[in-house]
Amino acid sequence: MIKYRIFLAAAAVMLLVACGGDTEPTIADAPQTAPTAAMPEEEAPGAEAPAVQDMEPAEEIVEETTAVVEDSEETIVLATAEADTASEMVSQKYSEGTHYNVLTTAQGTGSSPDVVEVAEVFWYGCPHCYNFDPYVARWEEELPDGVELVRLPVMWNPTNEIHARIFYTADALGKLDEMHSAIFQEMHLNGKTLTTESDIEALFVKFGVTPEEFQSTFRSFPVETRLKKAKTLTARYRVQSVPLLVINGKYVVTGPGIKNFDDMISVANELIEREQAEL
């Protein structure tokens, strides 16, 4: 337990620098074990995270940064990405390399074959993910039938892992809907890093979870399984910055043409239309 607390203390230090960057629109240097989330110019974080600034949605500049990811041995069902046919009939305002990338091999999704899955890759400790969350919440309500939004906590390093564990624990306990935004707020408004198990347990208790329920779930087999899958997809989606949108395990919304959160959603909507045209 002492070793675990020392580990988490080190992880807390990583939290303070992992999503940092210059205020100028340049690519931020990323620590080897704590990749940064390069995002809008107005929203570019200071040297110390998790400071949050107000966002001007029409002007923020999205940038990319490098990240170190590890391969996973987990086997998932893959599908070959084939040339678009029916999707060519959909209006194509956005282009590959400028607004999105196409994965060499499309990844199998957890949704049914007749559903287009949209994955939001995020990290609770990232101020840009915190600012993007209200956009995603509104967008989810407007998504057409046959489209499912899922959230995927990024898994670059141990700090990401402890926060992903919070996400999957809340989901397993049926508390995710009421806790998701509250977890963001606990970090970015209340200044909690949520990297110690005692602090995390205290937050769950506020939402009616008993200490016994928390302890039996936090390191349970279902949570461990989902963490392993999140790590696999972080690598296979080649996630280098967050927040990020992945459409149907095939398209990754990123590129120099993405200037703000509204752009991200507009590009995603077009890619969803293309995928629906092929169903």
Q: Does 208 map to a domain? A: no
pLDDT (mean) for 229-234: 96
Read off the pLDDT band of 246 (50, 70, 90): very high
Distances (CA, A) of 254 to 15, 123, 177, 264, 267: 24, 17, 27, 8, 9
Domain that holds residue 44: 2-157+231-278
Whether the predicted pLDDT of 15 surpasses 50: no
Cβ atoms of 76 and 232 within 8 Å: the answer is yes
CA dihedral 50, 55, 58, 62 (to 10 degrees): -10
Q: Does 172 map to a domain? A: no
- Whole-number pLDDT of residue 255: 96
CATH number of the domain within which 27 lies: 3.40.30.10
For the packed helices 261-278 and 127-142, what is the interaxial angle rounded to 10 degrees? 40
Report pLDDT digits (tens) over 96-139.
Answer: 999 999 999 989 888 888 999 999 999 999 999 999 999 999 99
Residue 208: phi and psi, rounded to 5, are 85, 10
pLDDT (mean) for 6-25: 41
Read off the pLDDT band of 200 (50, 70, 90): very high
User: Domain total for the chain?
Assistant: 1
Question: Which residues, at least 6 apart from 254, have a Cβ–Cβ distance to it below 8 Å?
Answer: 62, 64, 100, 101, 240, 241, 244
Whether the predicted pLDDT of 68 surpasses 80: no
Q: Does 242 map to a domain? A: yes
pTM of the model: 0.72
Q: Does 13 map to a domain? A: yes
